[in-house]
Chains A and B, each alone.
Chain A
Amino acid sequence: MKSKTSCFNWTIFKKNVTHYWPIWMLYLAYLLMTMPVTVWQMSTVEYSKEIDKLSRMYNVMQTVVRGEIFPYPTFIISAVAALAVFSYLYSAKSANMIHALPVNRLELYITNYLSGLAFLIIPQIIAFLATVIVCLMNEITCIQYLFYGTLAQMGTAFFAYSLAVFVAMFTGQTFAMPFYFVIVNYLYVGCMYLVSEIIVLLTYGVVNAWNPGKSCILSPLYYLGNNLRCETVYDEATNTVTGVQIHGMYLVGIYAVAAAVLIAAAYQLYKRRQIETAGDWVSISIVKPVFRWGAALCGGVLLAIAFTSLVSSACSVSIYPCVLFFMAVMGFLCFFAAEMLLEKNFRVFKKRRLLEWVGFTAAAMCFITMFELDVFGIEKRIPAEDEIEAAFVNMDYPLQVAPEDIPTLLAMHEQTVEHKKEYQQSEKQGEGFYYTTFRYYLKDGTMLERRYPLPVAEQYITDETTPTGWILTLECRPENLMQNMFGVDYGENDYVSGQIDLYNEQGDVNNYGLDKEELSRILSALEQDVREGHFESGFYSVHQGNTVEYYNSISLDYYSPIGDNDNWTYYYMYRSFMKDEDVYMGRAYRNNTYLSFGPECTNLIRTLEELGITDDTWHLYTYDEYETLNQEIMVSQ
């Protein structure tokens, strides 16, 4: 017989374990498949035995731990377990029966909570032990990683399950609970995305108003999915695997602390819960307006964005009134759909609710109008020179603006903002314009990016005082062109191979491989051509109408001390470069550049002739010449 002061009821625990066995059995089967079975499979595959024993061991362990800490299955099973053990709250019959029994809510809560947690933790322990045995049988001794992985998995399960229980206390509806669980896991990211999308829609130049950062910890599944990972550790000197590292273990610790808070909060909700709310979408009365307004705001904004994008792509309409209209209509639909769910009734169009909707719409309109009027100064925000760590501009290709040019860049940016109407007009009319990005990496660790449709009519291109003209001048600078062609630290490149396509008069192609000597001379000639202005920005040349390029192209392979040194990678991952993080496998990364050139590149053409690469048989053809040649061949055939 149970003690009078006990907070745990064995009878209910046994009932849960025996009734909901498919849940923990399914999870156990999944874990066994992803852990011991995977180890066994990988250990018995023939090719694995050929590679170094240590590398094999770490590779196997990395695969298993990666699968083990993958949070999505744990979150799904956690939601199912919480739903099962607290399912009695979701039907009036079961809720009445259980609460009429001689057990109090604390006892019910603790027993059901622990039952559900056992559904997760016990299979994890079994799978861990089974994996240890399989590992040892296959001479995989680095089982400490498996232990850390299991700890991470248990921490994730503890948090995910506690969150699911907390969510379960908010509703009295079986179908609502998983829905809420998904929402809670992505609420922060989703809301930020929606606000960001509204800003992007309404604010001139803003491409991305929000960069997911550490605050995304408020969206647990999203954050764990991106930050809890397992990787093998490489020794760059020997290029061998030397261990396994689990990233994001501290996150599991943070979430475990949060889980403890959630357990207490969930109990408080349960204690205050009215049993008669079984079957309700929201069982906590003060949350009902939050549900209604939240549904209207999030649903309204999401649908308004979708419909505005659809309409604006189909016909030329002003974005702002379009967003306002769809926000009002979609907000109305979402508001009353939420009310219908709350009331379990279609007749919800009552005066009080209609007034509430009017209030909501007014608030939403104000919210949207604030962005349109740039109340927060987002549109006019141009960083001060001393705020900037690095500045980039990207018209035809991304280039880093030299520190001495930053004041001019800021002036050009300001001019672009001032000419908003003029530039938007050319974009709307589909006249010559080119989307150009200003990207600033700021000293506070954030990034500011703006994208504008810069007009490319003749008067803008030729005038260096306009943003278009100035940026094109920057693009034509030899240093920038060299970085675009051979990477940001092109002076350090170690060229290993190269190839040039040559054609004869019969249209045959010769993929000529370049040796070290040829490579060296061709590179010197290329650099000479760049410095003499023979390689100009593609766009600039096109606009000048004098671009004649060869059908032939040169491909070069090289290694860089910083791995992937491509200027696009540098542009997007500037921070990683500054932290000296290897972008792709360090020195092991093989870069490749593919160059087009034209008759203007006299140094290169002369070098090719001197090296005997082009001769009487194998020629360079411009596109026009190649087309003519092809036509002649076809006629002769």
Chain B
Amino acid sequence: MIQVNGLEKSFDGFAALRGVDMHVKKGAIYGLVGPNGAGKSTLMRHITGVYRADAGEVRVDGQVVYENREVKARMAYIPDDLFYFMQADTMEMKRFYEGIYPDFDGKLFYRMQEFFPNIDVKRNIRRLSKGMQKQVAFWLAICAKPSVLILDEPVDGLDPVMRRQIWSIIMSEVAENEMTVLVSSHNLRELEDVCDHVGIMHHGKVIIERSLSDLQGSVSKIQIACPNGIPKLPENFEVLHMSNTGRVYTMIVKGDPKEAEAALAVCTPTIVDVLPLTLEEIFIYEMGGADYEVKDILF
């Protein structure tokens, strides 16, 4: 659904995107993660047709997005920093979106009002709290009936109940209408619950792009205690990280977890436990491999 090929962008000589390649399938919920300054928001602004690329292209449903009204009419974007017109209330913004988005569903807007009971639709949006403003953004975006929803830090500022509410609405849209969702967030625990694909960005590039299950299947955490000290692993396993507490060693290993367990059985361990990694752990260890590790700081 979304294809990004060799995308490059520089700001006053600073290369923010260095040949990004990314592919999001139709109906997928794609989590875009990466450290601060990796270029996630810049990439999203290219995908939504805001920025013009220096090189490369962004296609949605096979069509170039930039300056393409037809494609953009099927996309909705909720940025991290929202903008509403001065003195506009929710109803006015609804009328604006209704005029702009050809598929805007006015009836759905009223049906969804029950999901947002705290929003006073006659109140100036700029006077609503940040979380409420975000709710309005979701409300309007969903009513625009997009085939592609782009979310930049979507639930930032929302309370836990509203987070659940919003995700449940999104999931149902994905399930019912095969909506494609591209979401960027630093809340990896939450992404792990909703995403089926993940892309990790670093230094203006997507360094890893896989389904979440593949990603979790390729890295595992092994806790092992051997009578002979440090366990020896076959050479085809890449140990990303290793630490120990007494005789118990914890290793982050790249490779098939089952094969790893079988290989370690040779060491006759007293304890061996192979655990799947959380997305947050995968991110931390993968970024460690890309020179972005958590440093041990000594004061």
Contacts and interface: CB of A to CB of B under 8 A. Distances in A.
A107 interface: yes
Interface in B71-116: 72-73, 75, 77, 79, 81-83, 85-88, 95-96, 98-102
Interface in A9-28: 9-12, 14-15, 19
Interface in A49-105: 91-97, 99-105
Given A10-B99, A100-B72, A93 B11 contact: no
Contacts of A96: 45, 50, 79, 83
Per CB-CB distance, the 10 closest pairs between chain A and chain B, nearest first, are A11-B99, A102-B73, A102-B72, A93-B83, A97-B83, A100-B48, A100-B77, A99-B50, A104-B67, A94-B83
A102 B69 contact: yes
B226 to A, nearest CB: 55
B81 A93 contact: yes
Contact of A1 (B67, B70, B102): B102
A351 interface: no
Interface in A423-482: none
Interface in B151-185: none
B34 interface: no
A274 B52 contact: yes
B292 interface: no
Interface of B: 11, 45, 48-52, 67-70, 72-73, 75, 77, 79, 81-83, 85-88, 95-96, 98-102
Given A11-B98, A275-B50, 14 more contacts: A9-B99, A12-B99, A12-B100, A19-B88, A92-B81, A93-B81, A94-B83, A100-B79, A101-B100, A102-B69, A102-B100, A104-B69, A275-B45, A275-B51
Contacts of B70: 4, 102
B79 A97 contact: yes
A20 B67 CA distance: 27
A11 B69 contact: no
Interface residues of A, number: 28
Given A4-B69, A99-B49, A19 B87 contact: yes
Interface string A217-257: 00000000000000000000000000000000000000000
Given A19-B86, A97-B79, A100-B77, A276 B51 contact: yes
23 contacts: A1-B102, A2-B102, A4-B70, A9-B99, A11-B98, A11-B99, A12-B99, A12-B100, A15-B96, A19-B85, A19-B86, A93-B81, A93-B83, A96-B79, A100-B48, A100-B72, A100-B79, A101-B100, A102-B72, A102-B75, A102-B101, A104-B67, A276-B11
Contact of B50 (A1, A2, A4, A100): A100
A11 B85 CA distance: 13
A100 B49 contact: yes
Interface in A349-384: none
A227 to B, nearest CB: 39
Contacts of B82: 93, 97
A184 to B, nearest CB: 25
A238 B131 CA distance: 79
A92 B81 CA distance: 9
Contacts of A93: 79, 81-83
B249 to A, nearest CB: 48
A282 to B, nearest CB: 12
Contacts of B50: 95-96, 99-100, 275
A352 B163 CA distance: 50
Contacts of B52: 274-275
B72 A101 contact: yes
B171 to A, nearest CB: 23
Contacts of B96: 11, 15
A371 B9 CA distance: 47
A15 B85 contact: yes
A616 B95 CA distance: 99
B120 to A, nearest CB: 20
Interface string A273-286: 01110000000000
Contacts of A9: 99-100
B213 to A, nearest CB: 32
A103 B85 contact: no
Nearest to B77: A100
A100 B44 CA distance: 10
Q: Which of A2, A15, A274, A275 has the most CB of B within 10 A?
A: A15
A492 B45 CA distance: 82
Contacts of A103: 69, 72, 100
Nearest to A343: B12
Contacts of B77: 100
A344 B180 CA distance: 39
B17 to A, nearest CB: 12
A272 to B, nearest CB: 9
Nearest to B12: A285
A275 B81 CA distance: 16
Contacts of B79: 93, 96-97, 100
Contacts of B85: 15, 19
